[in-house]
């Protein structure tokens, strides 16, 4: 991704947001517990759609890395050693 200039993001109405879930869990464990329970409820009711997950065998690790680097992926990438 490289260097990101905040003004460039603001001009495009975009942002980057990071949340430290470990800090929230330490300070407010009930918030995490409630959030996880709700997420599981939504998943079990079919109301939560999971992102696309691409799986690569470790022998194709280079291919997986190139796909990620070239922006050819959406969702998550899993490298399997099994």
pLDDT in tens, the chain (82 residues): 567 788 888 888 887 788 899 999 999 999 999 999 999 999 999 999 888 888 999 999 999 989 888 888 877 789 999 8
Beta pairing partners, 57: 80
Beta pairing partners, 78: 55
| CB 65, CB 54: distance < 8 Å | no
- On whether both 54 and 81 belong to a single domain, the answer is yes
pLDDT for the residue 82? 87
- On whether both 34 and 61 belong to a single domain, the answer is no
Decide if 1 is inside a domain: no
pLDDT for the residue 1? 54
- Distance in angstroms (rounded) separating the CA atoms of residues 53 and 68: 12
- On whether both 68 and 42 belong to a single domain, the answer is no
pLDDT for the residue 80? 92
Structurally, how many domains does the chain consist of?
2
| Residue 27 domain boundaries | 18-49
Decide if 2 is inside a domain: no
Decide if 60 is inside a domain: yes
Decide if 12 is inside a domain: no
């Amino acid at each position: 991704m490289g260097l990101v200039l905040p003004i460039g993001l603001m001009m495009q109405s975009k942002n980057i947001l990071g949340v430290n879930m470990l800090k929230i869990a330490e300070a407010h464990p009930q918030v995490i517990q409630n959030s996880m329970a709700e997420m599981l409820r939504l998943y079990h009711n079919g109301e939560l759609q999971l992102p696309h997950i691409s799986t690569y065998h470790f022998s194709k690790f280079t291919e997986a890395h190139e796909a990620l680097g070239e922006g050819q992926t959406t969702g998550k990438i899993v490298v399997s050693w099994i």
